[in-house]
Chain A
Amino acid sequence: MKETWRLIDMRIEDAPTQMAIDEAIAMARLKENIPNTVRLYRWNPSAVSIGYFQSIEKEVNLPACEKYGVDVIRRITGGGAVYHDYNGEITYSLVAPEADPKMPDDILESYELICGAIVNGLAGLGVDAEFKPVNDIVAGGKKISGNAQTRRHGVILQHGTILVDSDIRRMFQVLRVSDAKISDKLIQAVEDRVTNLRRYLDRQVDFDEARSALIKGFEDVFDVALEPGELTGAETRLVKQLHEKYSSREWVFQR
């Protein structure tokens, strides 16, 4: 009988809640009798997440975030600054023990495997994507997904974005990507390096379609059945605690 993992499907929450849920699941993984978990989610309100090591001042245009009602949060994972557009992006996360026989010991190999699930899912939509080490997925040579992993408490947490349709203009407003004024030339430069499902497939892609494809990708690559489930009572309590941390100035502005 095929192994079953838990799917927590398309929760739409604010930034602190989403980061709290990811970390809560990772913290609880070895303490309770719960299977590995795949989550798909969207950020409402739209948000900027920065990597654990990034300088918030250097990366984020805080007045613009305030002006446009965009949340700002620091992840527990490294990597770069990401604009999570509620209307343009799906985020996934996967939690599994380091000791899980399906999980490589080597971090780079595990990035490749987990990103492989996304690549597989995107293929189902007709997107010819590939893993680009260390942590990117590209389609037609342009980045369509960025990923970040942490390993703590003997557990792997990897999360990443899949760009469905991007508001590049808004991204430039909220991230400090360039000192140059936002111009069509600057936007073109980004569009040369970054793509999304709508642009690649040259058609509207709704979230439900993308979601189904990604679920299938995880099931195929890991040879598991994803069964819809909810957070446990213990995880929910952890989410409450962690929400405080992620909302705190102390956490977000630590560097």
Chain B
Amino acid sequence: MAAELGVEEGRLVGVKITGDFFMHPEAAIIDLEKALCDTSVEDLDYVVNRFFQDNDVTLFGVEAEDFVKVVRLALEP
């Protein structure tokens, strides 16, 4: 699992998350990536957790926390 993104003025841009996981419905990934775009780095945990709380998404092979981890990893220099 990996993330690609940019940061502009402390906000995430162009977030793309890839991996061999399962997400149902599949289209939810687009919504998650949209939710992360223009999110400030500080709000990362909150936005991801909120997303999975608010949406009926089933995951296999990953957990909500992994989406936070993989973005954090991508943020490291």
Contacts and interface: CB of A to CB of B under 8 A. Distances in A.
Interface string B1-37: 0100000000000001111111111100100000000
**Contact-residue bracket for chain A:** 20 to 34
B46 interface: no
Given A53-B29, A107-B58, A134-B60, A150 B24 contact: yes
A125 B58 CA distance: 35
B2 A78 contact: no
Interface string A56-77: 0010000000000000000011
Contacts of A213: none
Given A55-B2, A58-B2, A78 B22 contact: yes
B20 A54 contact: yes
B77 interface: no
A81 B58 CA distance: 21
Contacts of B18: 53-55, 58, 255
Nearest to A80: B20
Contact of B20 (A76, A78, A108, A152): A78
A81 B20 contact: yes
A170 interface: no
A134 B19 CA distance: 16
Contact of A78 (B16, B17, B21): B21
A53 B23 contact: yes
Contacts of A52: 26
Interface of B: 2, 16-26, 29, 58, 60-61
Interface of A: 51-55, 58, 76-81, 107-108, 134-135, 148-152, 255
